[in-house]
Amino acid sequence: MAEKEDTKSTTEKEGAKPTAEKDTKAEPQPQSAEEPKKEETTLFPGAPLLEDNSKQTEEELRFYAPDYLVLTVLAALLFPPLGFVAVYFCYQTIKYNKDSEWTEAYHNSSITGWLDTFSILIGLGLIYYITLFT
């Protein structure tokens, strides 16, 4: 008993840390294997957040076709006749991306891009014409 008191007093005087026997009580308990921690990450722009239990792998997420969602919303606001058609193709692109049907996704993506471009140009042209000539 006297030896333990001597070691405590010498470690306290020297500023050293206590022995490892005393530190084992303060260590946190490891997490149980039954409750894995879910981490959500995005791997590529335009790809949805990937959870651990996702059915698509990292390689599949690299093939995601762009859906042009922001351009589609802008196109629907500027020139609705073509904009709403672009909304339909944008939806189809998102659906085919989730189902890993890459050919259809890229086909619908290109149609969405062209419709968005024409719709925005026509809408801006109409706004320009109305402000200048009326």
Cα–Cα dist 63/1, whole Å: 70
**pLDDT digits 0-9 by tens, 9-40:** 555 555 555 555 555 555 555 555 555 554 55
pLDDT in tens, 74-111: 999 999 999 999 999 999 999 999 998 999 999 999 99
CB atoms within 10 A of CB 109: 23
SS3 assignment, position 93 = helix
DSSP state of 55: S
Is residue 85 within 8 Å of residue 76, measured between CB atoms?
A: no
In the chain, domain spans? 63-134
C-beta atoms surrounding 107 within 10 Å:
16
The pTM score is 0.58
